[in-house]
Amino acid sequence: MGDYPWSLTCTLVLRQNLMMLSPSTVERMSVGERLDAIELLWRSLAASPEQVPSPEWHGRVVAERLSKIERGEGKFLTLDEVKRRFSSDSEASHSAGGRSRGPGDCARLS
């Protein structure tokens, strides 16, 4: 099982046949256990990225951004600008009730 924490590995192996953890089970996990679970899931997804579906709108956004670059209309941000933008988006999201992002939000960043 690699270098995964023993307790998390045991927890997930015992629940392996369920294929999904219930929200109540996740809520009973400590913050550390939840972070370990996220890491475990992320590593498993990263090991086979070709199996991770990409929403159809991602392709449209990428194609439009590449087209802008080819036309010389692309805008590029520094890392500091990106951090500030995400920081202000995060603050606005919290004040707006924490709604999730969607295709319109990503397109807005282009």
pLDDT in tens, 39-74: 999 999 999 999 999 999 999 999 999 999 999 999
The pTM (predicted TM-score) of the whole model is 0.42
31 touches 73 (CB < 8 A): no
User: What are the CA-CA distances from residue 21 to residues 11, 17, 24, 38, 45 (Å)?
Assistant: 10, 10, 8, 12, 17
For residue 33, give every residue at least 6 positions away whose Cβ sits within 8 Å of its Cβ, in sequence order, or none: 7, 8, 11
The residue behind tokens 């590593």 is 43
Amino acid at 26: V
The whole-number pLDDT of residue 14 equals: 47
Q: What is the mean pLDDT of residues 26-47?
A: 91
Q: What is the mean pLDDT of residues 9-36?
A: 72
What confidence tier does 12 reach under pLDDT thresholds 50, 70, 90? low
Q: In whole angstroms, what is the distance from residue 21 CA to residue 33 CA? A: 13
Tokens of 96: 């707006």
What confidence tier does 23 reach under pLDDT thresholds 50, 70, 90? confident
